[in-house]
Amino acid sequence: MGWTKETIHAIVEKQREFFLSGKTLDVSFRLKMLDALYDGLKSHGKDVEDAISKDLGRHPLESYFCDVGATLTEISEIRSHLKKWAKPDRKFSGLKCFPSIWTRIYKLPYGVTLVISPFNFPIYLSLVVVATSLAGGNTVILKTSSKSSACTEVLKTIIHETFPEEYVTLVDGGHDIADLCLEERFDKIFYTGSPKVGVHVMEMAAKHLTPVALELGGETGNWCVVRKDADLKDAARKIAFFKLMNSGQICININQIAVASEVADAFLQELKAAFIKQIGESAIDNPEYPRLISASAFEKCKSEAEEYKDRIVFGGKGDAEKLRFEPTIIYPIRIDEPVVQHELFNPLLPVVPYEDSRIDELMDTINRREHGLALYVFTKNKKWAKKVMATQQYGGGCVNEVCLHLMVKGAPFNGTGHSGMGSYHGIWGFREFTHQSTVLFGSNHFNLPMREHPYSGKSGEKKRKLLNLFLR
């Protein structure tokens, strides 16, 4: 279907009418639709894996781990708890509200929502957000990335077979189509992508005062800090695994490493060995190694590697036809160089040496930059690690591990500042896609006159005493 301003407006209005019918308020209806989405994805699992391979060159096992299986797990989590989450909370109103004793907090859907998903995890970052919005009782228009066209076609099939278009619709196309969507008045927008486009989404949403949730990669990238007391072999193994995943095209991936100069040489040897052990001597020729999403992404990676070619200590080669670029270690890099002051989103891995005795200066410099979506530290000093993770500003992270914080059930995920706003996963996503509405139930018996005129004279003095008793 060729999307136009008119057809997009028509589907928005159709969804608004469906929402206003009240059908999505029924929790049993939402659960039925989540069951259908779960079954639809599961039945098309092989098609999804094939599509991801076509778009990104990922091995089916990696695609299942990162997209299919992870999405099914998230939908299962939502289904298991939705009845409890959606149930209104009851609170004691407090003496100041006497005789109105009870207050209810209703979890109300926003209405018609727009979900804009990226190319790097085209299934997970589409369907998890869609499922979360549906759990909240909303309708959804899903705008997928034009870069992952094979995955978009599979998503079209799943959504068309599972939902009526007045409930969930997939809109495909480029940035022009996304802008046509953003011109419409939605009740909630969830965007995943770059900070630059995130600013544009907020500007467009502001015209309608539409609330926005953003999951962004972070302007200056995610740091990994390896202290001199770290288990270097363990750190290298985990970092290599993560940087190989999706060829570095992950919003929470390690953008740069800061390693204590005292152990830098030993760490680099371990990191090189870990890359070779996991992907072989030539990543380019390994069919399990994912590719970059486009020719422009490949050229951008190649061009930046060329700028630092005299400091490449591992990798550095690419194949334009295969769109593969080797995991590439660049060392040494100063903390003020351009390559560590922007998000890379590719397999380049700059390494910044620092003196371990000056760790506080390093963390201060990192904290003064735009906040990353993730922060990773490797150290045996748990006391220091806990202090750092409790005082830095970042989205989420790990101590002596990478990426797995994303998969913790019931825990919130997202960034802060240039790495995002809002949060989702589990109950946090349900809260993101619902408005918490406080409703006090009044009484027509035993109402005290202390809030009413007159406020002066003896009557006022009595009211003051009562207020002093209740309002504290």
Q: What CA–CA distance (Å, rounded) separates 168 from 139?
A: 6
The residues with which 440 forms a beta bridge, in sequence order, are 103
- pLDDT digit string, tens, across residues 117-147: 999 999 999 999 999 999 999 999 999 999 9
* Contact in structure between 24 and 200 (CB atoms under 8 Å): no
Choose among 118, 121, 129, 130: nearest CA to 163. Answer: 130
- pLDDT digit string, tens, across residues 169-197: 999 999 999 999 999 999 999 999 999 99
Q: What CA–CA distance (Å, rounded) separates 360 from 375?
A: 15
pLDDT one digit per residue (tens) for the chain, 472 residues: 689 999 999 999 999 999 999 999 999 999 999 999 999 999 999 999 999 999 999 999 999 999 999 999 999 999 999 999 999 999 998 877 878 889 999 999 999 999 999 999 999 999 999 999 999 999 999 999 999 999 999 999 999 999 999 999 999 999 999 999 999 999 999 999 999 999 999 999 999 999 999 999 888 999 999 999 999 999 999 999 999 999 999 999 999 999 999 999 999 999 999 999 999 999 999 999 999 999 999 999 999 999 999 999 999 999 999 999 999 999 999 999 999 999 999 999 999 999 999 999 999 999 999 999 999 999 999 999 999 999 999 999 999 999 999 999 889 999 999 999 999 999 999 999 999 999 999 888 877 777 788 889 888 888 788 778 777 7
Please name each of the domains of the chain with its CATH number. Answer: 5-218+419-435 (3.40.605.10), 223-369+374-411 (3.40.309.10), 442-470 (no CATH)
* Contact in structure between 75 and 32 (CB atoms under 8 Å): no
* Contact in structure between 121 and 109 (CB atoms under 8 Å): no
Q: What CA–CA distance (Å, rounded) separates 400 from 421?
A: 26
Catalytic positions are 215, 251
Q: Take residue 290 and report the two structure tokens written for it.
A: 């994912």
